[in-house]
Structure 1
């Protein structure tokens, strides 16, 4: 069921992207202009694309909620392979010990006035 809903959600997402990209930013859907006697007028295309966007957006949100609910209730078991659980951890090679550098001598007082803090 989860895989089926995931495939349906992918198809809805592709359709939603397509419908959104077909819309014009000025509101004339499909970029259709011309006579009002045709099958799909500019206003009719815009109305269709607006309704399709809202329906596909709603379906996408519902599918997201359904997939989250199914994934939350799914119990795959928390089993650990015994061979892996009892295997010793790999040890990192020991790093050589570094000697701390000698501290330099204190600078001579050149008559500088320390800043107030």
Structure 2
């Protein structure tokens, strides 16, 4: 089931890319506007709206298959870890220390250093 949805998803991705590339550029994004003469096949307004509708259909189907694949993967995963599946034991958590938070970030103090900073002179 998952392989069928994945295959449909990949086909939809390719179709979506193709339909987007076939559409006429209205803003001339890369300087290659859809100019040209009357001999162009995709010049009519009806063709542009048909391609736009087809793009929306492919996009909605692509999102639906994406959500479906995500739900299937979440159900398959369960609550286990990748390490549980590989049979590797997780490393033990380090023992908690009684030191207050943030003191391990400071440089070590010499043994004869005062505990409090000297008072500031108020001259």
Q: TM-score, normalised by structure 1?
A: 0.53
Are the equivalent residues in 2 in contact too, given 1:31–1:42 (CA < 8 A)? no
Structure 1 position 109 matched with structure 2 position 122:
yes
User: Which structure has the larger Rg over C-alpha atoms?
Assistant: 1
> 5+ unaligned residues in a row in structure 2: which ranges?
28-32, 95-103
Are the equivalent residues in 2 in contact too, given 1:23–1:31 (CA < 8 A)? yes
- Alpha-carbon separation, structure 2, partners of 1:43 and 1:52: 14
Q: TM-score, normalised by structure 2?
A: 0.51
> 5+ unaligned residues in a row in structure 1: which ranges?
111-117
| Greater RCO, 1 or 2 (C-alpha within 8 Å, sep 6+) | 2
> SS state of the match for residue 84, structure 1?
coil
Aligned Cα RMSD in Å? 4.0
Number of corresponding residues = 101
